[in-house]
Copies of this chain bind each other. A is one copy, B any other.
């Protein structure tokens, strides 16, 4: 399942990240964002993304999709088969935007929401025509580089919509993981939230500064988690005795007072000041743009390094990186690059015209009652 025409509603850091990933996959995107600065901001993200993709594909990028700025949501979604919503995390706003998308988008389109925490069941109530096509498709920043997308269906989401969404996200180089039960914040942000809350306590209590905490992460378990998650890491740490033994050993610690379990730190000016000040000390020698470049270079280098592991097959995000860069290279060889001479460009254009464009057939899901229609995804 590939995307013929995409729409992005919202062009903040996340929305613009989606736009960049889609365009760099050669997909045309219509974006709607009421911010008068939207064009400049999306342009900045696009510049960063293009730079990162050039590192991934030194032989050349696919011809970029065309970006158009729509004046209304209706205009942006009217001929899109995939729509990604990335507006701020307020339920009333999500309702307003999703209702409008639902009214104007083709019936067979798939609607993904970038929300990092709101349940799809609570959002799709605003979609009077086709609530069954809404999924949460929660990405991680920078969207154009990090592959994970958490897919969550709501009570009204059709199982087929989830299947189509999985294929769509995979078609643009992502790793879709379908969350089995609908809960707020899903899985990634639950873990992040737990660590973040503990981190705020540690800084507030003066145990460490933000820079020290960051170093503690990136010189230890951060490197581990780039390649194995915590369960597999602990399995290995358990050694020959196995996971059951490891768990039995670790179990009692859960009762120890090793986290500030019962409390949320008061989020007052004092704490914000402390963290903002320490963050400046850590990082104000770089501008945000410089840090973005450093981050992107690092992420590409890590994925590239992992792509050469496991006897060249790649490991984790590196295995996916192999597939993705191969796919993009193939696309690049089919399509004209701006720098190509006219003759090459002509044949490339011809190739593009011949490329079969598969339509996303969400209509099947939307129109035909699914076997488990209306049932929450298991």
Q: Provide the residues of chain B in CB contact with A229, threshold 8 Å.
A: 210, 213-218, 222
Q: Are B195 and A195 in contact (CB under 8 A)?
A: yes
Residues of B contacting A242 in the complex (Cβ-Cβ under 8 angstroms): 276
Cβ-defined contact, B320 with A258, below 8 A? no
Known: A180-B207, A228-B214, A254-B267. A220 touches B140 (CB 8 A): yes
| A193/B235 in contact, CB under 8 A | no
CB pair B214–A187 under 8 Å, yes or no, is no
Residues on B with beta carbons closer than 8 Å to the beta carbon of A315: 294, 298
Once A117-B256, A272-B247, A302-B306 are accepted as A-B contacts, the answer to whether A212 and B187 lie under 8 Å apart by CB is: yes
Contact A190 B259 (CB under 8 A): yes
Contact of A306 among B282, B283, B301 (CB under 8 A): B301
For the side of the interface on A, what is the size category? 35 or more
User: How close is A15's CB to chain B, nearest CB, in angstroms?
Assistant: 12
User: Is A194 engaged at the interface, CB distance under 8 Å to the other chain?
Assistant: yes
Q: Which of A1-9, A69-77, A144-152, A333-341 contacts B (4 or more CB under 8 A)?
A: A144-152
A residues adjacent to B (C-beta < 8 A):
13, 117, 140-141, 146-148, 150, 175, 177, 179-181, 183-200, 202, 205-233, 235-240, 242-244, 247-248, 250-259, 261-262, 264-265, 267, 272, 275-276, 278-280, 282-283, 288, 291-292, 294-295, 297-299, 301-306, 308-310, 315-317, 320
A-B pairs with lowest CB-CB distance, top 5: A214-B229, A222-B225, A305-B305, A148-B220, A226-B226
